[in-house]
Amino acid sequence: MTFRAPEDLEKSPSLEQLVRWRRDVRRFKRDPVPQALIDRLLRLADLAPSVGNSQPWRIVSVNSPEKRAAIVQNFETARQRSAEVYSGDQADLYNRLKLAGFDAAPVQLAVFSDRGAMQGHSLGRQTMPETLDHSCACMVTVLWLAAREAGLGLGWVSILDPAAVTATLDVPANWKFVGYLLIGWPEEEHLDPELERHGWQPRTPFEARYSEVGLQGATPGQDTGSDGTAIQNGCVTLVGAGPGDPELLTLKALRALQSADAVLFDDLVAKPILDYVRPGAQMIDVGKRGYRKSCKQPDINAQMIALARQGLRVVRLKSGDPLVFGRAGEEIAACKDAGVPLSVIPGVTSAQGAAASLKVALTNRDHARRLQFITAHDRRGHLPADIDWSAVADRAVTTVIYMPKRTLAELTEIALTHGLDPKTPALAVANATRPDEQVFISTVGAIAATLGAAHPDGPVLVMIGEALRYATARDAADQAGVVLSALDVLPELT
């Protein structure tokens, strides 16, 4: 057996890295693996723990082309049979997935559990005979980690008929088939499993598999809410969908959508984003539509909690960032009061998406040293009574106004009476970052009339401030006439 040199030990991956790299590999290079390396890994795996020190694993190296071909045929038959249990999108995805790497893996091992093993004097097997098989799984795990440490990949094929494998390899009848292992140099490196990467089934929260015993009124696998009601290990995640462009979703948001059991989504969430939700998840429209019949917030809170108490992974999907005018505070409080595990995944808020789309800086060292977001309506749909008008009129601030359609004229009129220059640049953006995005370039004194005449559909926000002045003129060269008359400034030439 060979050992690493002292200088190489410093380069060894940590245990955590090995565990994270332990991925089921199905894409191998055809390069051979030195037999000495395989021998070393197998001897290392042979040190794995086993019940009663029974070491029940039996490993068969399958080298014969005829035997390998029979195993491949076994796999194809079992794969086709398994496909019959799926339907719709799940069936399509199953048929597209690469579920084995027989075509390239240079090393192929069949692992069996010897149910007749005498070693260990049957210690522990009188009460739990299945621990022999569990011991074999421990051995495979050690082999898996050892292979990753050596730079190899390992795939565990389970879509096989055990009886046919036993017959093909002509092993004793009391050997129970555990799994068929493929080993080789991986074609590519990934931290996430292929099944997760392609949307079959992402990892679920750790809390879904961890429980404590001893909580009064609860049973194992359950938590209790503040009212003492037992709840399953479900959870709620508030997810920001961004302003509309699906490519602005964060990786964390994407993973949450692909692992959700139920998604409660707002009316403003762009429809293409819903296509990223895991097939089979419950889709529940809880949109709060302005000035029309819509879901009430208490009802949404109750539905989230009820689904989580069924043990489901619930995603509350909101346009933009849930923490910016998204009523996240009410939903966070409701989950905490109910004792439901909750996490928040922020999103790109509409102001950021609109500004990026227009290439407009919201702050500027010379013109805007503050940035503020305000909402143009309160709980009743009226202009809020507590707006700080002196802050809105400040020439050194950029103000972004959310949900301004109904109250913009009143808002700008009051802002002007508090000293805001009517020629201050103003931009209105409808459906920011989406294919039907509309931009309206104007001034504070005219933006309400401009927006009212256009009457755009979809979510709208308005940005006002001196920081927008030259950027607006520069980025709207094709609308130079509008810019010159509205802003009274010449575009900068470069």
What is the spatial distance between Cα 133 and Cα 57, in angstroms, rounded to a whole number? 8
> Residue 332 in contact with residue 322, Cβ under 8 Å?
no
3-state DSSP call for residue 385?
coil
| Residue 368: HSE in the Cβ half-sphere, 13 Å Cα cutoff | 26
pLDDT in tens, the chain (494 residues): 333 343 443 456 677 777 766 667 888 999 999 999 999 999 999 999 998 888 999 999 999 999 999 999 999 999 888 888 777 777 777 787 777 889 899 999 999 999 887 787 677 667 787 888 999 999 999 999 999 889 899 999 989 999 999 999 999 989 999 999 999 999 877 666 677 666 666 666 666 666 666 655 444 444 455 444 444 568 999 999 999 999 999 999 999 999 999 999 988 899 999 999 988 888 999 876 554 456 788 889 999 999 998 889 999 999 999 999 988 999 999 999 999 999 999 999 999 999 998 888 898 888 888 999 999 988 788 899 999 999 999 989 999 999 898 999 999 999 999 999 999 999 999 999 999 999 999 999 999 999 989 888 888 999 999 888 865 444 444 444 444 444 554 434 33
Pick the CATH number of 230-348 from 3.20.20.70, 3.30.930.10, 3.40.1010.10, 3.30.2320.20: 3.40.1010.10
Q: What is the dihedral of CA 332, 337, 340, 345, to 10 degrees?
A: 10
Catalytic residue among 24, 223, 261, 266: 266
6-189: CATH, from 2.40.170.20, 3.30.60.50, 1.10.540.10, 3.40.109.10: 3.40.109.10
Q: Is the dihedral of CA 260, 262, 263, 264 positive or negative?
A: negative
Instruction: Respond yes or no: is residue 403 known to be catalytic.
Output: yes
| pLDDT value for 291 | 45
Q: How far apart are CA 377 and CA 381, in angstroms?
A: 5
Q: What is the pLDDT of residue 202?
A: 65
| Residue 252 annotated among the catalytic residues of the structure | no
Q: What pLDDT does 484 receive?
A: 45
**How far is Cα 11 from Cα 5, in angstroms, rounded to an integer?**
10
Catalytic residue among 67, 288, 421, 423: 288
Domain ranges of the chain: 6-189, 230-348, 351-487
The confidence score (pLDDT) of residue 471 equals 54
Common-topology check for domains 6-189 and 230-348: no
Stated pTM of the model: 0.51
Among 139, 304, 403, 463, the one annotated catalytic: 403
- Alpha-carbon separation of residue 400 from 350, 374, 403, 460 (angstroms): 10, 6, 10, 11
Q: Give buried/exposed letters for 140-154 (b at 16+ CB in 10 A, else e).
A: bebbbbbbbbeebbb
| Domain 351-487: top CATH class | alpha beta
Helices and strands counted in the chain (H then E): 18, 16
